[in-house]
Amino acid sequence: EVQLVESGGGLVQPGGSLRLSCAASGFTFSSYWMSWVRQAPGKGLEWVANIKQDGSEKYYVDSVKGRFTISRDNAKNSLYLQMNSLRAEDTAVYYCARINWNYDYWGQGTLVTVSS
C-alpha cells in the first residue's frame, strides 16, 4: 500500500525556518517525481515545488523561489522541503504527492503556521 506521511509542521515566527519531511512507503520511491502542494486555510490548492527522481531537476512556484528548497534522500525514501524566510502568507497545510503522469497519491498534510 502506497503511503506518504508528512511531518515537521508547526508554529514559526515570520522570518523563521522550518523543514518538512515526507516519508514514503509501499512503492519504489526513487522511480518517481515528487511534489509539494499547499493549501492556505479556507483556500484552494497551490502547487509549490517538484523534484525529479534523482534530484537533478527542481522547479518552484515563483512565490517561494529563493526561500524554499525541495530535496530528497532516495536511500531513506524521504522527501523534504526546507522553508526559510517564512512569511504569514506561507501559512498552509503542506501536502507531499507522488507524480505518476498525475498526482496519484497524497499524504494527509502537515500544518505550517507563520505568526508572531
List residues binding other proteins (CB under 8 A): 33, 35, 37, 44-47, 50, 52, 57, 59, 95, 99, 101-104, 106-109
CB of 112 to other proteins, least distance (A): 15
Q: What are phi and psi of 19, to 5 degrees?
A: -120, 120
Please state, in angstroms and as integers, the Cα–Cα distance from residue 61 to each residue in 1, 28, 30, 55, following that order: 30, 26, 23, 17
CB of 56 to other proteins, least distance (A): 12
CA 21 centroid distance within chain: 7
- Nearer to other proteins by Cβ, of 102 and 116: the residue is 102
Residue whose cell numbers read 519504489 = 28
CB of 15 to other proteins, least distance (A): 27
- What would the grid cell of residue 84 be? 526559510
Q: What is the rounded CA–CA span in Å between residue 5 and residue 12?
A: 21
- Nearer to other proteins by Cβ, of 27 and 106: the residue is 106
- Nearer to other proteins by Cβ, of 56 and 116: the residue is 56
- Nearer to other proteins by Cβ, of 16 and 69: the residue is 69
